[in-house]
Amino acid sequence: VAYSSDAFRFWGATFDPVGLYRLIAVYKLFAKLELTPEKIHSYVQSLQSHFIERMDSSQHPFINRRNLLIHSLTTHGHFFTFKFPEAQAIHKQLRSAEVITDVRGDRLRFGFGLYQTKA
């Protein structure tokens, strides 16, 4: 079977459009809720500020400003990455407490999103 010469060449037997239907449903929900990228970003920044406040007050030996790779919330993505040799061990401890993080080598990453609260 020959591939089409137009955009349908990407419409192969393995293509599953369900993800597109879900995306459209999410966009409709966001429109109904008047949820914009700016509102999402502002909410995430409030979570990050709260995290920083709690982190500072905890005086954790590893999860602290000294090990935080980027310090400015205005130029930061929706995650915090900490670099320290014990990252793997702390990741395991957090996981046992049902705190989901990402770890790669000596870097521990916390993500922030709409599905989270300050609790």
Task: Specify if 13 maps to a domain.
Answer: no
Structural domain boundaries enclosing 86: 37-111
Give the model's pLDDT for residue 13: 67
pLDDT 10s digits, 85-110: 999 999 999 999 999 999 999 999 99
9 within some domain? no
The count of other CB atoms within 10 Å of the CB of residue 112 is 19
Q: Mean pLDDT across the stretch 34-38?
A: 96
CATH number assigned to the domain comprising residue 65:
3.90.1150.10
Within-domain flag for 14: no
- Measured in whole angstroms, the distance separating CA 84 from the mean position of its chain's CA atoms is 20
Global confidence as pTM: 0.80
pLDDT for the residue 103: 98
pLDDT at residue 8 in the model: 80
> Letter for the amino acid at 32?
K
User: Among all chains, which residue has been given the structure tokens 């966009």?
Assistant: 27
Question: What is the chain's mean pLDDT, rounded?
Answer: 93
* Total domains present in the chain: 1
